[in-house]
Structure 1
Amino acid sequence: MTDFTTLAILVPLLLAVGAVAGTLAGLLGVGGGIVIVPVLYWLTEVGLLDVDPSVAIHFAVATSLLTIIPTSISSARAHHRKGSIDVELFRAWAPFIVVGALAGGVLAANANAAALSAVFGGIAILVVLNMLNPNPIVLAAAPPASPVGRAAIAGPIGAFSAMMGIGGGTLSVPALTLMSFPVHRAVGTAALFGLVIAVPGILGYAFAGQDIGGLLPFSVGFINVPAAIVISIATFIFAPIGANIAHRLNARALRLAFAGFLALSGLKMLFEAFGA
């Protein structure tokens, strides 16, 4: 295919991916990476994006992280207007999430992708079973108040999210609901977590990807800036739409929607870990 033909296919496809990812980001407080990462990786496999297979997953994760910044800003603004962001919790957890995300971004270059996918998938399925339980397990009456407790939960959320190229909602929403946190408030606050995960994660991938071949033009480390910009245009527009849908659902419906999303994500990760 000519370069023009390739662009004519890629641009609408990336915009469509951004629309789906943005809607999910607003609806569930996730960054949209759970959609963006596999699609970008698939585009390298079919040859629409000329990325070396040895760095394809790193490119997909890193580029997804860059899209999370505008997505989180748009989603968080919409949730804030609905009064569903817990600013106090965000301030308490954000420093630990930042440290975890920075470490995760640096470690990702040498991470075992199969093991990471298996852990994510296993945890996701356990969380889904609990969320679908009419009497779900509750681990605490409230999130921990001590710095040690906050670090033990928020740090791994930041690290794992950065390594997988996803926003904080995929992990933080289930964690907060296990601690008796209202689901609408968990989703809204998680939208803002995506911002503090993405920034340090991006720095880690930009640093780790220096002087590595096989990447696309206009890349900074593993991050391809043009692809991220095209996707972000759509995520920024569609994230508020997802947030409005979330606030029209009751708590039970929103929990079921999130459980369905997480089930698909977990099964996908398990398939990637053990299906190959």
Structure 2
Amino acid sequence: MPPVSELILFAGLLVVAGGVAGLLAGVFGIGGGAVLVPVFYQIFGLAGIDDAVRMHLAVGTSIAIIVPTSLRSFAAHRRRGAVDMQLLRGWVVAVPLGAILAAVIAAEASSEALRLIFAVITLLLASRMMFFSSRWHLGSDLPGEPLRFVVGTGIGVFSGLMGIGGGVLNNTFMSLYGRPIHQAVATSAGVGVLISLPGLFGYIWAGWGKEGLPLMSTGFINWIAVALIIPVTLVVAPYGAKIAHAMSKRQLEIGFGLFLIFVSARFFYSLYG
């Protein structure tokens, strides 16, 4: 059992992480998972949690926290009329299907595999956002079916494996087809809802009965972390949405890209540092 001072430090770090995650959820239309996963990975390691389940627990707990964060962020963006509701309705099956498939894969994947997926995808997305944002387009409008269904399922799979709300992937998809970054950000909050709800139950199932899980865990969800962070993210997310609508397209892209590079570097370091 860690000393009380260490437990207090962990709790404080979690609360700070929740504030940052909630703010980013509003600014970038993400569920905060891109912040929470690396933070959880570090904190769970300091707490002595088995490496075999540490990354899985970080991803699953992040998914659980994304549920209320995404709902709150989605509501704030929808009130501004910026969400593409037609796209979301078309993904009601595709995105949750991908999130469930991600949980099935995560049940068998190693910690190293999950960290590598996280690092590679975030680096690719950062490069696209920062260096090809204004020059690289695949079309003037979103593709039709069945390609749109396939993309939605893919967003659900990769986001579920990374413990994120799908914002980083959906922002890229919509931007590639000429949609405004502010609309992409707003719609991504809704994508986070479609990923996190089935993902929550998927990660409970994937980690059910696993050894090495900490106190107050159900599968790969740690409810202590959830209880500490959710209230903070709910309060902060709407302020992030206000910031997003006050920023230019290029400011959002540069900020988003720098953030993703930092996250990617952190996980590459954990693998090869």
Q: TM-score, normalised by structure 1?
A: 0.91
Q: What's the secondary structure of 1:142's corresponding residue?
A: coil
Alignment of 1:34-53 (within 5 A): 34-47=34-47, 50-53=48-51
* 1:31 counterpart = 2:31: yes
User: More deviation in 130-139 or 234-243?
Assistant: 130-139
Q: Is the 8 A contact 2:120 2:264 kept in 1?
A: yes
Q: What's the secondary structure of 1:31's corresponding residue?
A: coil
Q: Which amino acid aligns with 1:128?
A: A
Specify whether residues 210 and 127 from structure 1 end up closer, same or farther in structure 2 by C-alpha distance, changes over 3 A only.
closer
User: More deviation in 4-13 or 209-218?
Assistant: 4-13
Q: Is the 8 A contact 2:117 2:162 kept in 1?
A: no
Deviation at 1:222, TM superposition (A): 1.3
Alignment of 1:1-12 (within 5 A): 4-12=4-12
Specify whether residues 107 and 242 from structure 1 end up closer, same or farther in structure 2 by C-alpha distance, changes over 3 A only.
same
* Alignment-derived partner of residue 144 in structure 1: 143
Alignment of 1:76-225 (within 5 A): 76-131=74-129, 132-133=131-132, 135-146=134-145, 148-225=146-223
Would you say how many aligned residue pairs link Structure 1 and Structure 2?
272
Q: Which runs of 5+ in 1 are unaligned?
A: none
Q: Is the 8 A contact 2:33 2:63 kept in 1?
A: yes
Q: What's the secondary structure of 1:210's corresponding residue?
A: coil
Q: What's the secondary structure of 2:259's corresponding residue?
A: helix
Q: What's the secondary structure of 2:107's corresponding residue?
A: helix
Which one of the candidate residues 224, 227, 232 is aligned to 1:226? 224
Specify whether residues 16 and 119 from structure 1 end up closer, same or farther in structure 2 by C-alpha distance, changes over 3 A only.
closer
Deviations 1:194-229 (A, max 9, x none): 111111111111111111121122211111112112
Q: TM-score, normalised by structure 2?
A: 0.92
1-structure distance, mates of 2:44, 2:133 = 42
Specify whether residues 153 and 206 from structure 1 end up closer, same or farther in structure 2 by C-alpha distance, changes over 3 A only.
same
* Alignment-derived partner of residue 236 in structure 2: 238
Specify whether residues 257 and 271 from structure 1 end up closer, same or farther in structure 2 by C-alpha distance, changes over 3 A only.
same
Q: Percent identity among equivalent residues? A: 38
Deviation at 1:112, TM superposition (A): 4.2
User: More deviation in 232-241 or 35-44?
Assistant: 35-44
Specify whether residues 181 and 37 from structure 1 end up closer, same or farther in structure 2 by C-alpha distance, changes over 3 A only.
same
Q: What's the secondary structure of 1:128's corresponding residue?
A: helix
Deviation at 1:125, TM superposition (A): 3.5
Q: Is the 8 A contact 1:15 1:233 kept in 2?
A: no
2-structure distance, mates of 1:242, 1:62 = 24
Specify whether residues 195 and 44 from structure 1 end up closer, same or farther in structure 2 by C-alpha distance, changes over 3 A only.
same
2-structure distance, mates of 1:251, 1:217 = 44
Q: Is the 8 A contact 1:94 1:193 kept in 2?
A: no
User: More deviation in 9-18 or 62-71?
Assistant: 9-18
Q: Is the 8 A contact 2:38 2:263 kept in 1?
A: no
Deviation at 1:7, TM superposition (A): 3.6
Q: Which amino acid aligns with 1:17?
A: A
Q: What's the secondary structure of 2:92's corresponding residue?
A: helix
2-structure distance, mates of 1:268, 1:196 = 27
* Alignment-derived partner of residue 13 in structure 1: 13
1-structure distance, mates of 2:61, 2:128 = 32
Specify whether residues 125 and 208 from structure 1 end up closer, same or farther in structure 2 by C-alpha distance, changes over 3 A only.
closer
Q: Which amino acid aligns with 1:16?
A: V
Deviation at 1:232, TM superposition (A): 0.9
Deviation at 1:11, TM superposition (A): 2.3
Q: Which amino acid aligns with 2:74?
A: A
1-structure distance, mates of 2:119, 2:178 = 23
Deviations 1:48-74 (A, max 9, x none): xx4222111111111111000111011
Q: Which amino acid aligns with 1:39?
A: V
1-structure distance, mates of 2:50, 2:259 = 30
Q: What's the secondary structure of 2:91's corresponding residue?
A: helix
Q: Is the 8 A contact 1:65 1:201 kept in 2?
A: yes
